[in-house]
Chain A
Amino acid sequence: MNKEVIVIGAGAAGMESAGQLANEGFSVKIFEKDESPGGHLKGWYHLFPNRRDSVEVMDYLLDVIDRKEIELLTNTTVTKVSKKDGKFVVTTTQNKEYNADAIIVTTGFDLFRSERKEEYGYGIYDNVITSAELEKMFRNGNLRCTDGRIPQKVGFIHCVGSRDEKVGNFYCSKLCCVSAVKQAIEIREHVPESNVFCFYMDIRMGGSGYEELYRESQQKYGVNYIRGKVSEVAENYEGKLVLKVEDTLVGKPLKMEFDMLVLMVGMEMSESGKELAVNSGLLTGENRFFAPADHHFGSNKGNVDGIFYAGACTATMNLTETLAHARSAVDDVVDYFRRKK
């Protein structure tokens, strides 16, 4: 089969699907807007639920695409895909055009920009950081407040940018809960004398091994959980962060001081994905992610036959689901060429 398939985005979904496409005998081009492949995985330290070092997965994925059938083009953003006579033309920001017989879109997600949730003080107060920034601190082995102190009391605010009409996101980002549990454990490991509190609306532990990690965080690491959506954060004269929330299970408002607050940022359709959707006539859903053709039977398909989707460009998805989704997209590509014969 001498077919050429273009994969748009070299994150986990793009790399895994490229590898599977090569296994099927296709020649593959992957376009990546950044200077290197890996997507969000590059910024992560340990993965939930088994705390595997993300480098292991990164090495696996780099190995997957390291073959002669796959060409990786970095620093290349795809702005448009058009279909002509059953073939596809892909246009990049450099105004170059590439031809392909089928496309897999793997443009992934962007993290919610926390400045939009102004009441949490991100970008205003020192020591209000995002979950992604905390991962970098873990990776660098440098968990510190801006003044160099080691944080003794750390709070995690769940659902920042998710399940919140005020920022236009109705959906649950679904992996922030378990990320918070994992990061809370890691704070306790890095600073054994620290106190850690998670502020949640619901603890959603839907994945395999998640509930067990939640239980472990309480039993082994003494992580505390308080039910209530944080309403606001301020800084006091000592530079401590003062958090306000209703402890909904007690039924009283609660104030608590912290050295550091971590915002569990949700996932949104990526900006590059949005641009691609608009320019190429690809339908998106109410959640702004690419709209799958069918919730059960067509999660890798969209509104253009021959353009497939994989990973978090269609819905919030964890890494396990993303890799599986990438492989099933390749199944659909194989089926597409079989039907066209």
Chain B
Amino acid sequence: MSDFGYVLLKNRHIDYEANDKRIAEYIYAREPSFGYCMECGCCAGTCTSGNFTHLSLREINILIKRGETSTIKEQIDKCMLCGKCTLVCPRGVNTRNIIILAGEAIQKLEANEL
């Protein structure tokens, strides 16, 4: 590449190829509606937990898909599994199941079972 006088910083990028997408694959295989999200944020807007803590299902969804999973466990733990997000989703995403599956996948990852 030509020298333009600046360098590309690794931490400013989503390195899609390098990122670990095993959690995404785990969810896709068990809940295909994971792929139907259009990022409208209806789930996060209606979320009771999300109004008091940092929990956005929309954000969790996209972070998992990109393999940016370092912060999601903390978010998932705040979910009360009330299912309000599933009720409002205009795309029929089974959001509640995605949270459950994401939790499962994280456990399996930690136990080296994935």
Tell me the A residues contacting B by CB distance below 8 Å.
119, 159, 163-166, 201-202, 227-232, 244-248, 251-254
Contact = CB atoms under 8 A, between A and B. Distances in A.
B42 A246 contact: yes
Interface of B: 38-47, 50-51, 56, 58-59, 88-92
Contacts of B89: 165-166
A201 to B, nearest CB: 5
Contact of A244 (B39, B46, B56, B90): B46
- Residue among B43, B44, B47, B51 with the most chain A CB within 10 A? B44
Nearest to B47: A253
Nearest to A119: B88
Contacts of B56: 246, 251-253
A229 B58 CA distance: 12
Contacts of B40: 201, 228-229, 248
Given A165-B92, A201-B39, A244-B45, 15 more contacts: A119-B88, A163-B38, A165-B90, A201-B38, A228-B40, A228-B41, A229-B40, A229-B45, A230-B42, A230-B45, A232-B46, A246-B58, A251-B56, A253-B51, A253-B56
Nearest to A243: B45
Contacts of B42: 228-231, 246
A43 B92 CA distance: 34
Contact of B39 (A164, A230, A248, A252): A248
A247 B40 CA distance: 9
A113 B46 CA distance: 22
A130 B1 CA distance: 55
Contacts of A253: 44-45, 47, 50-51, 56
- Residue among B50, B56, B88, B90 with the most chain A CB within 10 A? B90
B44 A246 contact: yes
B88 A248 contact: no
